[in-house]
A and B are shown apart, each in its own frame.
Chain A
Amino acid sequence: MGRRKLTSFRVELSLQPTLYSVIFFSLLAIVLAFACGSIIFLFYHISPWIAYQTFFRGAFGSWYAFSETLKRTIPLLLVGEGLALAFRAQVLNIGAEGQILLGAVAATWVALFSGLPSFLLLPTMFLLGFLAGAGWALIPAFFKTRFAVNEVLSTLMLNYVASNLVLYLIGGPWKGKGVRGFTYTDTFPEAAWLKTMGITRVPYFTLLTGIVLAVGGYIFLKKSALGFEFRIVGNSSETAKLLGISEEKIVLFAMFLSGGLAGFAGVGEVAGIHHLLRHPDHISLGYGYTAIIVAWLARANPLATIFTSFLFGALLSGGDALRVSLGIPFQVVSVFNGLILFFLISTERLSRYRIIWGEEKAVERSGS
């Protein structure tokens, strides 16, 4: 073999995935998703290189691009951290999309029809928005705790109900007076608008709240007695039963928190960006679904949702740039999300393996 140095390695199942292997394989999944995504661009006769350039310019290329990324990060962060809490307790809330819309509906009612004095508008919008999202999530929670109805199905189905509720309101009783043929409400009074950072469309109140709550959620899980119960129920409902922890209480609370945060995010969208209630697809861009991936990628760790929501925020705004500059349908971005999730799940098992480089015995064997 001469002087050529052989790099040999051995793969071994480790008992516990390390932080590095989790990060490594998560990044690998994203890289693989991008590689697969290239194939789609080739179908559109666009060089993947140019496509990804456009993509990154659209997500980070300028202050404007960066602010667009942040704008999308906020709802993902708020919803994602709530879902992370729920997933930790094995409560599979798939209904954040509908909970966002309910928050938006509640906020619209406050802004347009409550007749509250201006200075009370925003606080009431956020409070009622939170409660509306939470209340919407408590419906499936009730059926789960009382009749053992699978929450995946019930939360998912309620999304359609919420979506149709919004369509009904904007086309019927809440249809704006000055909007003629369009279906949306009147614009909110300015007192019900969230302040944004400079000339961007990034409301700093929701951004800061999102970050604070991510840290708070992390501390809650790690340090509080209730957070400890969340983790016990999520890991072993049998042990929880033996200890006398009320699983019902945990399910209700997890739904309340995750639904509430989604509702809160919905308020942020209408009060910070749209300033009116409009078609559900424009209010939420599928944030409720994308946030599931955000929470998953963060391994249900609220603190990590800060990074993962930013990643998906970038994905959405980069996708927007693709659509505008290259004429690629927006759905391609959804394909990306799907690919990333697909590779994440596929590489999940791998993160339990450990690669050991340059193992001595292998070198000996290759030398003989």
Chain B
Amino acid sequence: MAVVEKKEKNSKEGKTVEVAFRSITKRFSPDILANDRVSFEVEKGTVHALLGENGAGKTTLMNILYGLFPPDEGEIIIRGMPTKISSPREAINLGIGMVHQHFKLISTHTVSENIILGLASTPFFFPAEKAESEIRFLSERYGLKIDPRARIWQLSAGEKQKVEILKALYRRAEILVLDEPTSVLTPQEAEELFATLRLMKEEGKTCIFITHKLNEVKEIADAVTVMRRGKVISTILPSSVSLEELARMTVGKEVISVVPRKTVSGKIILQLQKVSAMGDREIPALSKLSLTVREGEIVGVAGVAGNGQKELAEVIVGLRQATEGHVFLQDKEITNLPPRDIASLGVAYIPEERHMGLVGEMSVAENLLLRGYSRPPFSQGFWVDWEKAEAYSEKLISNYHINPPIADIPVRLLSGGNRQRVIIARELERKPKLVIASNPTAGLDVSGVEAIHELLVKAQEEGAGILLISGDLDELLKLSNRIVIMFKGEIVGEKEKEHWTEEDRREIGLGMGGVRI
């Protein structure tokens, strides 16, 4: 208790501390110290950013706050009371709500069913009906527009996030923890989220906002705690530091930017002619879309999520049927070919949902071999040459800096960034002609993003055509030779530049909102 009193002077006059972390330490195994004596305070009615790279220990700390596992040492003080939170239910009772990076929703159930799931007050019969009016009220009030009767599988990632926030609000959350919320959002959706957070702040609710995007910290946060390798580097006012300083604090080194892009006039690798396709909801997702990608060119696809980008990628790689139109890879028509045939013609795919690209229970080595196991040099037919595969995976692990550098641990134990490296290593090592990359850096930290950008640029320099679908406009402006804008399943604008300017950025933003440019 002495410790508490000593530190209490940190909270100055008129400000109430909502949550205080006191020397939280969490060790996962003898070598992994996820949180190392983490201490900081979060004031009531503020948005408090928790900034740091992947593996800095942000999520671990928040999972401790949410009662998912106990700290080895230290304590959490909520509204002045030292609290032992041993389950999410206790956390919810304390007014803590959490929006995980990977949504915890049941996809076959409706929005309102998901929101009321597990609540003691839920009636036995027709549980969703009673809640509907309150859900509508909450979504009006906080600008979280969503149909309570829609089923989760029908929703985009941004919409699912709204459901998660509604779920927390419905449970009367006073402290809302958001784990990298903007990683699944488009710039517009992120703005909507920030507006929601500001509304919540006005009501005296507190948000802890995990992120690794520096400008978001500047934009929304009232205070920021920077973490690196499990330790708190500093808790400061965002207005008191520059972006560069923040970046230096997070990564501990200067961040380098990539080369200017030049226009490309190579041979056409990918050509889509008036392609249409249906979405999951059996409504048209692509309508007569035409597009080309040339050798050595990065074509960026800008657009608000849910405008057909996912379907576009899936049609090209053969996971979704085109209902009309033609897809050509060089001169060969690949429309509606089986995915394996398209892949073996030299199309690499980095899917939007990382878990789709990997088998979590299988080892890193096996995951690296998912594309090549049935073909020479790894297989002459029936058997797989695992010795060769082992050597191959060792090579890839070191070339692509996959960490930890162990070939035979299940891939699910790797961090998000390293799992993405496994996918990219596997896909790019085949020397593809065409790379379809869907939000390849979503959820990754600064150095992870850099590494993946470098890998994409390297593939481009080796002559691959790259279709880069991203909700992150900065990423597109940084990497693309040409940017096309998707809106409601169509391409509504196209720009080709050597140097992108603020003006281009503004115009593309308009196009994403449906204004023709």
* B143: interface (CB < 8 Å): no
**B362 at interface (Cβ–Cβ under 8 A)?**
yes
Question: Contacts A16-B413, A232-B359 given: A224-B340 contact, CB under 8 Å?
Answer: no
| B413 and A242 contacting across the interface, CB-CB below 8 Å | no
- Give CA–CA (A215, B311) in the complex, Å: 44
Contact B338 A244 (CB under 8 A): yes
Measured between beta carbons, the chain B residues less than 8 angstroms from A226 are 382
Among B341, B359, B381, B382, chain A packs the most CB atoms within 10 A around the CB of B359
Q: How far is the CA of A235 from the CA of B412 in the complex (A)?
A: 12
Q: State whether A16 touches B410 (Cβ < 8 A).
A: yes
Which chain B positions have C-beta within 8 A of A224?
382-384
Closest CB-CB distance, B25 to chain A, in whole Å?
Answer: 11
Closest to A231 in B: B362
Asked if residues A235 and B361 are in contact (CB atoms below 8 Å), the reply is: yes
Question: Is A148 an interface residue when CB atoms closer than 8 A count as contact?
Answer: no
Which chain B residues border A228 with CB–CB below 8 Å?
Answer: 366, 369, 373, 384
Interface string of A151-191 (1 = CB under 8 A from B): 00000000000000000000000000000000000000000
User: Within the complex, which residue of A13, A222, A235, A244 is in contact with B359, where a contact is CB–CB below 8 Å?
Assistant: A235
A19 at the interface (CB under 8 A from B): no
CB proximity of A234 to chain B, nearest CB, Å: 9
What are the residues of chain A within 8 A of B342 when measuring CB–CB? 244
Q: Which residues of B contact A241 (CB under 8 A)?
A: 319, 339
Size class of B's contact patch? 35 or more
Give residues 349-384 of B contacting A (CB, 8 Å): 349, 351, 355-362, 366, 369-371, 373-374, 379, 381-384
Residue interface bits A210-252, CB-to-B below 8 A is 1, else 0: 0000000000001111101001100110110111110000000
- Contact assessment for B413 and A239 in the assembled complex, using a CB-CB cutoff below 8 Å: no
Residues of B within 8 Å of A245, CB to CB, are 340
Write the B3-25 contact mask toward A (1 if CB under 8 angstroms, else 0). 00000000000000000000000
A239 and B357 contacting across the interface, CB-CB below 8 Å: yes
Tell me if A1 counts as interface (CB < 8 A to partner B): no
Cβ contact within 8 Å between A239 and B356: yes
In the complex, chain A residues 81-112 whose Cβ is within 8 Å of any chain B Cβ: none
How far is B480's CA from A88's CA once the two chains are assembled, in angstroms?
44
B153 interface contact, C-beta 8 A? no
Known: A231-B362, A236-B360, A243-B340. A225 touches B370 (CB 8 A): no
- With contact pairs A224-B383, A225-B382 given, residues A243 and B370 touching in the complex (Cβ less than 8 Å): yes
Most buried by A among B343, B356, B360, B409: B356
Interface pairs (12), CB distance under 8 Å: A223-B384, A224-B384, A225-B373, A226-B382, A228-B366, A232-B359, A235-B360, A235-B362, A238-B356, A242-B317, A242-B356, A243-B339
Interface residues of B (CB under 8 A from A): 28-29, 69, 317-319, 338-343, 349, 351, 355-362, 366, 369-371, 373-374, 379, 381-384, 386, 409-410, 413
Tell me the bound Cα distance from A193 to B386 in angstroms: 42
Cα distance A228–B342 in the bound complex, in angstroms? 21
Complex Cα distance, B369 from A223, in Å, reads: 13
A232 near B360 with CB under 8 A, answer no
When the two chains form their complex, are residues B362 and A242 in contact, meaning their CB atoms are under 8 A apart?
Answer: no
> A225 to B383, Cβ gap below 8 A?
yes
Which single residue of chain A is at the shortest CB-CB distance from B69? A13
Closest to B349 in A: A242
Taking the nearest CB of chain A, how far is it from the CB of B342, in angstroms?
A: 8
Is B341 touching A223 in the complex (CB atoms < 8 A)? Answer: no
Chain A contacts with B in 234-292, Cβ cutoff 8 A: 235-236, 238-239, 241-245
Q: Which of B340, B342, B371 has the most CB of A within 10 A?
A: B340
Output the least CB separation between A247 and chain B (Å): 12
B362 touches A243 (CB 8 A): no
Residues of B within 8 Å of A199, CB to CB, are: none
Contacts of A244 in B (CB 8 A): 318, 338-343
Closest Cβ of chain B: how far from A235's Cβ, in Å?
5
A37 vs B370: C-alpha distance in the bound complex, in angstroms? 47
Whether A239 contacts B359 in the complex (CB less than 8 A), given A223-B383, A225-B373, A225-B383, comes out as yes
- Residues of B near A232 (CB, < 8 A) are 359, 362, 370
New A-B pairs, 18, CB < 8 Å, besides A223-B384, A232-B359, A242-B339: A13-B69, A15-B413, A16-B409, A224-B384, A225-B379, A225-B382, A226-B382, A231-B362, A235-B360, A235-B362, A236-B355, A236-B356, A236-B358, A236-B360, A241-B319, A242-B356, A243-B340, A244-B339
Q: Are B355 and A225 in contact (CB under 8 A)?
A: no
Closest Cβ neighbor of A226 among chain B residues: B382
Determine the chain B residues whose CB is within 8 A of the CB of A235 once the complex forms: 359-362
Quick one: closest A residue to B337, CB to CB? A244
Q: What residue of chain A has the Cβ atom nearest to residue B370's Cβ?
A: A243
Alpha-carbon gap, A238 to B357, bound state (A): 8
Q: Which of chain A's residues have a CB closer than 8 A to the CB of B349?
A: 242
